[in-house]
Amino acid sequence: MAPDSSSAGKKTLRFTKMHGLGNDFMVIDGVTQDVHLTAAQIQRWADRNFGIGFDQLLLVEPPAEPNVDFRYRIFNADGDEVEHCGNGARCFARFVLDQGLTHKRVIRVAIQKGTLELHVHDDNTVTVDMGRPQLQPEHIPFIANEQHSVYPLLISEHEPALEISAVSMGNPHCVILVNDVDKAPVQALGPLVENHDAFPKRCNVGFLQILNRHEGRLRVFERGVGETLACGTGACAAMVAGRLRGLFDTNVTLHLLGGDLEISWSGDGSVLMTGPATKVFEGYIPWNNPTHN
Ligand SMILES: N[C@@H](CCC[C@H](N)C(=O)O)C(=O)O
Protein backbone atom coordinates (compact mmCIF):
# COMPACT_ATOMS: atom_id res chain seq x y z
CA MET A 1 0.00 0.00 0.00
CA ALA A 2 1.24 3.51 -0.81
CA PRO A 3 2.30 5.61 2.21
CA ASP A 4 -0.24 8.27 3.25
CA SER A 5 0.51 11.15 0.88
CA SER A 6 -2.40 13.35 1.97
CA SER A 7 -1.22 16.87 2.66
CA ALA A 8 -2.58 17.30 6.19
CA GLY A 9 0.34 17.56 8.62
CA LYS A 10 3.56 15.51 8.45
CA LYS A 11 3.05 13.05 5.63
CA THR A 12 4.84 11.92 2.50
CA LEU A 13 5.09 13.42 -0.94
CA ARG A 14 4.87 11.29 -4.10
CA PHE A 15 7.41 12.11 -6.80
CA THR A 16 8.94 10.69 -9.99
CA LYS A 17 12.61 10.81 -10.90
CA MET A 18 13.10 11.46 -14.64
CA HIS A 19 15.78 12.63 -17.03
CA GLY A 20 16.17 14.10 -20.49
CA LEU A 21 19.58 12.96 -21.79
CA GLY A 22 20.94 12.87 -18.24
CA ASN A 23 19.62 16.32 -17.26
CA ASP A 24 17.72 14.98 -14.26
CA PHE A 25 14.55 16.01 -12.50
CA MET A 26 12.38 15.41 -9.47
CA VAL A 27 8.86 15.73 -10.92
CA ILE A 28 5.97 16.42 -8.54
CA ASP A 29 2.24 16.11 -9.25
CA GLY A 30 0.80 19.31 -7.82
CA VAL A 31 -2.56 18.57 -9.46
CA THR A 32 -3.64 15.82 -7.04
CA GLN A 33 -1.28 16.86 -4.20
CA ASP A 34 -1.29 20.20 -2.36
CA VAL A 35 2.35 21.29 -2.69
CA HIS A 36 4.07 24.41 -1.35
CA LEU A 37 7.87 24.40 -1.49
CA THR A 38 10.60 26.55 0.04
CA ALA A 39 14.00 27.19 -1.54
CA ALA A 40 15.71 25.49 1.44
CA GLN A 41 13.58 22.35 0.95
CA ILE A 42 14.45 22.20 -2.76
CA GLN A 43 18.17 22.60 -2.01
CA ARG A 44 18.01 19.69 0.48
CA TRP A 45 16.23 17.37 -1.97
CA ALA A 46 18.60 18.39 -4.80
CA ASP A 47 21.65 17.32 -2.79
CA ARG A 48 23.14 14.21 -4.44
CA ASN A 49 24.45 12.80 -1.14
CA PHE A 50 21.85 13.82 1.43
CA GLY A 51 18.77 14.12 -0.80
CA ILE A 52 17.25 12.67 -3.99
CA GLY A 53 19.66 14.49 -6.30
CA PHE A 54 18.58 16.43 -9.38
CA ASP A 55 19.40 19.41 -11.58
CA GLN A 56 15.84 20.80 -11.56
CA LEU A 57 12.59 20.21 -9.70
CA LEU A 58 9.48 20.32 -11.92
CA LEU A 59 6.12 21.07 -10.32
CA VAL A 60 3.03 20.26 -12.42
CA GLU A 61 -0.04 22.29 -11.45
CA PRO A 62 -3.58 22.81 -12.77
CA PRO A 63 -3.86 25.60 -15.35
CA ALA A 64 -4.55 29.12 -14.09
CA GLU A 65 -5.74 30.35 -17.51
CA PRO A 66 -8.03 29.14 -20.35
CA ASN A 67 -6.80 27.16 -23.40
CA VAL A 68 -3.93 25.43 -21.60
CA ASP A 69 -3.90 21.94 -20.07
CA PHE A 70 -1.44 22.51 -17.22
CA ARG A 71 0.94 24.95 -15.62
CA TYR A 72 4.47 23.70 -15.13
CA ARG A 73 6.99 25.40 -12.81
CA ILE A 74 10.75 24.93 -12.79
CA PHE A 75 13.16 25.30 -9.87
CA ASN A 76 16.95 25.02 -10.19
CA ALA A 77 18.93 22.93 -7.69
CA ASP A 78 19.81 26.17 -5.85
CA GLY A 79 16.09 26.68 -5.12
CA ASP A 80 15.48 29.58 -7.53
CA GLU A 81 12.38 29.45 -9.71
CA VAL A 82 13.28 29.96 -13.40
CA GLU A 83 11.49 30.69 -16.66
CA HIS A 84 12.06 27.67 -18.87
CA CYS A 85 13.57 24.19 -19.15
CA GLY A 86 13.59 22.34 -22.48
CA ASN A 87 14.55 18.84 -21.28
CA GLY A 88 12.11 19.33 -18.43
CA ALA A 89 9.30 20.17 -20.87
CA ARG A 90 9.71 16.78 -22.60
CA CYS A 91 9.72 14.99 -19.22
CA PHE A 92 6.65 16.99 -18.15
CA ALA A 93 4.76 15.66 -21.23
CA ARG A 94 5.70 12.04 -20.50
CA PHE A 95 4.85 12.52 -16.83
CA VAL A 96 1.29 13.83 -17.34
CA LEU A 97 0.57 10.95 -19.77
CA ASP A 98 2.14 8.26 -17.52
CA GLN A 99 0.28 9.55 -14.45
CA GLY A 100 -3.04 9.56 -16.34
CA LEU A 101 -3.40 13.31 -15.82
CA THR A 102 -4.19 13.61 -19.55
CA HIS A 103 -4.62 11.36 -22.60
CA LYS A 104 -3.75 14.12 -25.07
CA ARG A 105 -0.67 13.66 -27.29
CA VAL A 106 -0.61 17.39 -28.07
CA ILE A 107 -0.38 19.27 -24.79
CA ARG A 108 -0.45 22.98 -24.10
CA VAL A 109 1.27 24.15 -20.95
CA ALA A 110 1.79 27.56 -19.34
CA ILE A 111 5.29 28.36 -18.12
CA GLN A 112 6.48 31.52 -16.35
CA LYS A 113 6.66 33.50 -19.63
CA GLY A 114 4.08 32.25 -22.13
CA THR A 115 2.78 28.92 -23.37
CA LEU A 116 4.44 25.86 -24.90
CA GLU A 117 2.95 23.25 -27.24
CA LEU A 118 4.30 19.72 -26.90
CA HIS A 119 3.80 16.79 -29.30
CA VAL A 120 4.35 13.28 -27.92
CA HIS A 121 5.30 10.86 -30.74
CA ASP A 122 4.63 7.12 -30.98
CA ASP A 123 8.31 6.34 -30.28
CA ASN A 124 7.89 8.37 -27.07
CA THR A 125 10.16 11.17 -28.16
CA VAL A 126 8.65 14.62 -27.66
CA THR A 127 8.82 17.69 -29.91
CA VAL A 128 8.53 20.99 -28.09
CA ASP A 129 7.70 24.27 -29.76
CA MET A 130 10.14 26.32 -27.68
CA GLY A 131 8.89 29.70 -28.88
CA ARG A 132 10.78 32.51 -30.58
CA PRO A 133 14.27 33.40 -29.38
CA GLN A 134 14.62 36.94 -28.02
CA LEU A 135 17.72 38.82 -29.12
CA GLN A 136 17.01 42.39 -27.96
CA PRO A 137 19.49 42.99 -25.09
CA GLU A 138 16.80 44.30 -22.70
CA HIS A 139 14.74 41.11 -23.16
CA ILE A 140 17.59 38.69 -22.39
CA PRO A 141 18.55 40.65 -20.18
CA PHE A 142 22.07 41.62 -21.35
CA ILE A 143 23.76 45.00 -20.96
CA ALA A 144 24.53 46.39 -24.43
CA ASN A 145 23.67 49.60 -26.29
CA GLU A 146 22.34 47.82 -29.36
CA GLN A 147 21.58 44.35 -30.69
CA HIS A 148 24.37 42.31 -32.35
CA SER A 149 24.86 38.62 -33.09
CA VAL A 150 28.31 38.67 -31.47
CA TYR A 151 29.43 40.78 -28.47
CA PRO A 152 32.81 41.15 -26.74
CA LEU A 153 32.68 40.07 -23.06
CA LEU A 154 35.62 41.05 -20.88
CA ILE A 155 36.37 38.53 -18.13
CA SER A 156 39.80 39.78 -17.04
CA GLU A 157 41.93 42.84 -17.83
CA HIS A 158 44.76 40.43 -18.66
CA GLU A 159 42.91 38.34 -21.25
CA PRO A 160 41.36 39.25 -24.61
CA ALA A 161 37.56 39.66 -24.47
CA LEU A 162 35.51 36.54 -25.22
CA GLU A 163 33.29 36.64 -28.33
CA ILE A 164 29.83 35.64 -27.20
CA SER A 165 26.25 35.50 -28.44
CA ALA A 166 23.49 36.49 -26.02
CA VAL A 167 20.11 34.78 -26.56
CA SER A 168 16.95 34.41 -24.51
CA MET A 169 14.86 31.26 -24.92
CA GLY A 170 12.67 32.65 -22.14
CA ASN A 171 15.75 32.18 -19.94
CA PRO A 172 19.13 33.88 -20.52
CA HIS A 173 21.95 32.15 -22.44
CA CYS A 174 25.49 33.06 -23.39
CA VAL A 175 26.98 30.98 -26.23
CA ILE A 176 30.74 30.77 -26.77
CA LEU A 177 32.22 29.09 -29.87
CA VAL A 178 35.12 26.74 -29.15
CA ASN A 179 37.37 24.57 -31.34
CA ASP A 180 37.04 21.45 -29.15
CA VAL A 181 34.39 21.10 -26.41
CA ASP A 182 36.49 18.40 -24.71
CA LYS A 183 39.14 21.03 -24.00
CA ALA A 184 36.73 23.94 -23.27
CA PRO A 185 37.36 25.59 -19.86
CA VAL A 186 33.77 24.89 -18.74
CA GLN A 187 34.48 24.71 -14.99
CA ALA A 188 36.81 27.73 -14.97
CA LEU A 189 34.83 30.10 -17.24
CA GLY A 190 31.30 28.86 -16.49
CA PRO A 191 30.86 30.54 -13.07
CA LEU A 192 32.59 33.76 -14.22
CA VAL A 193 30.27 34.16 -17.21
CA GLU A 194 27.17 32.95 -15.31
CA ASN A 195 27.67 35.75 -12.76
CA HIS A 196 29.05 38.44 -15.11
CA ASP A 197 27.66 41.96 -14.55
CA ALA A 198 26.58 42.09 -18.21
CA PHE A 199 23.89 39.47 -17.40
CA PRO A 200 21.77 41.06 -14.63
CA LYS A 201 19.75 37.84 -14.12
CA ARG A 202 22.86 35.65 -14.51
CA CYS A 203 22.95 33.21 -17.44
CA ASN A 204 23.41 29.67 -18.70
CA VAL A 205 26.75 29.31 -20.49
CA GLY A 206 27.02 27.14 -23.62
CA PHE A 207 30.31 26.03 -25.19
CA LEU A 208 29.58 25.17 -28.83
CA GLN A 209 31.83 23.34 -31.28
CA ILE A 210 30.54 23.51 -34.87
CA LEU A 211 31.20 20.21 -36.69
CA ASN A 212 29.45 21.07 -39.97
CA ARG A 213 26.28 22.89 -41.14
CA HIS A 214 24.06 20.17 -39.62
CA GLU A 215 25.93 19.11 -36.50
CA GLY A 216 27.56 20.52 -33.40
CA ARG A 217 28.83 19.48 -29.99
CA LEU A 218 27.67 21.37 -26.91
CA ARG A 219 28.46 21.52 -23.19
CA VAL A 220 26.43 23.77 -20.89
CA PHE A 221 27.26 25.28 -17.50
CA GLU A 222 23.75 25.94 -16.19
CA ARG A 223 22.72 28.87 -14.03
CA GLY A 224 21.92 27.68 -10.52
CA VAL A 225 23.26 24.15 -11.11
CA GLY A 226 26.73 23.89 -12.72
CA GLU A 227 27.60 21.73 -15.73
CA THR A 228 24.77 19.34 -16.69
CA LEU A 229 24.76 16.42 -19.13
CA ALA A 230 22.32 18.25 -21.43
CA CYS A 231 20.36 21.50 -21.63
CA GLY A 232 17.38 21.86 -23.98
CA THR A 233 17.09 25.64 -23.91
CA GLY A 234 20.90 25.74 -24.19
CA ALA A 235 20.73 23.61 -27.35
CA CYS A 236 18.12 25.97 -28.84
CA ALA A 237 20.23 29.02 -27.94
CA ALA A 238 23.29 27.34 -29.51
CA MET A 239 21.28 26.70 -32.70
CA VAL A 240 20.24 30.37 -32.81
CA ALA A 241 23.82 31.56 -32.18
CA GLY A 242 25.19 29.23 -34.88
CA ARG A 243 22.57 30.28 -37.41
CA LEU A 244 22.99 34.00 -36.72
CA ARG A 245 26.68 33.54 -37.52
CA GLY A 246 25.77 31.75 -40.78
CA LEU A 247 27.28 28.45 -39.62
CA PHE A 248 24.19 26.19 -39.29
CA ASP A 249 21.37 25.21 -41.68
CA THR A 250 17.71 24.84 -40.61
CA ASN A 251 18.00 21.34 -39.06
CA VAL A 252 20.85 20.55 -36.71
CA THR A 253 21.78 17.62 -34.47
CA LEU A 254 23.47 18.77 -31.30
CA HIS A 255 25.59 16.19 -29.48
CA LEU A 256 25.49 16.84 -25.73
CA LEU A 257 27.31 14.86 -23.03
CA GLY A 258 24.14 12.82 -22.35
CA GLY A 259 23.01 12.28 -25.98
CA ASP A 260 21.57 14.04 -29.01
CA LEU A 261 18.86 16.65 -29.57
CA GLU A 262 17.35 17.56 -32.95
CA ILE A 263 16.83 21.30 -33.29
CA SER A 264 15.07 23.14 -36.13
CA TRP A 265 14.97 26.89 -36.70
CA SER A 266 14.34 28.64 -40.00
CA GLY A 267 15.93 31.86 -38.77
CA ASP A 268 12.53 33.28 -37.86
CA GLY A 269 9.64 32.12 -35.64
CA SER A 270 9.73 29.28 -33.12
CA VAL A 271 12.61 26.93 -32.42
CA LEU A 272 11.57 23.24 -32.39
CA MET A 273 13.37 20.73 -30.19
CA THR A 274 12.93 16.92 -30.38
CA GLY A 275 14.41 14.38 -27.98
CA PRO A 276 13.69 11.63 -25.45
CA ALA A 277 12.22 11.75 -21.95
CA THR A 278 12.93 8.91 -19.54
CA LYS A 279 11.33 7.82 -16.28
CA VAL A 280 13.80 6.37 -13.74
CA PHE A 281 11.66 5.54 -10.69
CA GLU A 282 8.78 6.67 -8.49
CA GLY A 283 9.08 7.26 -4.78
CA TYR A 284 7.73 8.82 -1.61
CA ILE A 285 9.66 11.22 0.59
CA PRO A 286 8.77 12.35 4.13
CA TRP A 287 7.50 15.89 3.89
CA ASN A 288 6.07 18.47 6.20
CA ASN A 289 3.87 20.77 4.11
CA PRO A 290 5.12 24.22 5.30
CA THR A 291 1.64 25.75 4.99
CA HIS A 292 0.32 23.23 7.56
CA ASN A 293 2.89 23.95 10.33
N1 LIG B 1 18.13 22.18 -18.04
C2 LIG B 1 17.30 23.13 -18.63
C3 LIG B 1 17.42 24.56 -18.22
C4 LIG B 1 17.03 24.75 -16.75
C5 LIG B 1 17.02 26.19 -16.28
C6 LIG B 1 18.36 26.86 -16.36
N7 LIG B 1 19.34 26.27 -15.46
C8 LIG B 1 18.19 28.34 -16.01
O9 LIG B 1 18.54 28.76 -14.89
O10 LIG B 1 17.71 29.09 -16.87
C11 LIG B 1 16.95 22.88 -20.07
O12 LIG B 1 16.94 21.71 -20.47
O13 LIG B 1 16.61 23.82 -20.78
Mark the ranges of the chain whose per-residue pLDDT is less than 70: 1-10, 290-293
Clarify whether residues 164 and 225 are in a common domain.
Answer: yes
Phi, psi of 234 (to 5 degrees): -65, -40
User: Does residue 168 have its Cβ closer than 6 Å to ligand 1?
Assistant: no
Question: What pTM value is reported for the model?
Answer: 0.95
Q: How far is the CA of 222 from the centre of ligand 1 (A)?
A: 6
Q: What is the pLDDT of residue 189?
A: 97
Same domain, 255 and 152: yes
Indicate whether 145 and 98 sit together in one domain. no
Query: Nearest CA to 273 among 257, 249, 254, 258?
Result: 254
Domain span holding position 149? 137-269
Residue 263 pairs in a beta bridge with: 252, 273
Nearest to 238, CA basis, from 181, 177, 162? 177
User: Are 47 and 155 within one domain?
Assistant: no
Domain count, the chain: 2
CATH number at residue 182: 3.10.310.10
Q: Are 45 and 57 in contact (CB under 8 A)?
A: yes
DSSP state, residue 93: H
pLDDT score, position 253: 98
Annotated catalytic, 85?
yes
Q: Please give the C-alpha separations between residue 22 and each of 55, 182, 292, in angstroms, as whole numbers.
A: 9, 18, 35
The closest residue, in CA terms, to atom 10 on ligand 1 is 171
Residue 206, ligand 1, Cβ within 6 A: no
ipTM of this complex: 0.99
For position 288, what pLDDT does the model report?
79
